[in-house]
Amino acid sequence: MKREQVTNFYSGHVQGVGFRYRVKSLASGYEVTGLVRNLMDGRVELVCEGTRTELEEFLQAVRDSEIGRFIRREQTVWGEAKNTFRGFDITN
């Protein structure tokens, strides 16, 4: 199956609440690779690769988890997979 990349920017009260650690934990249940990191403007960026179905299910799992209540807005950008990730990491 074709792999894709999705970049999701989360706004709201998403820093200082364990958001990145929960996203990494959720990622282990899906066949996705990527990273999650805090941005200087208070948002969290999630970049991950996998099949479209896996990515959509993973993003929905983030929304449905206990950290979903901190999300006020999402901005999603889809693209082609670059196959640059090994595993799933938290950065900065």
- Sorted by sequence, the CB contacts under 8 Å of residue 84 that are 6+ apart come out as none
Helices 19-27 and 52-64 pack at an angle, to 10 degrees, of 140
Q: Of 20, 22, 72, 83, which one is the catalytic site residue?
A: 20
Q: Of 3, 22, 37, 38, which one is the catalytic site residue?
A: 38
Q: Can you tell me which residue has the tokens 């206990």?
A: 66
In angstroms, the CA 57 to CA 82 distance is 20
Identify whether 38 is a catalytic site residue.
Answer: yes
Identify whether 52 is a catalytic site residue.
Answer: no
Residues annotated as part of the active site? 20, 38
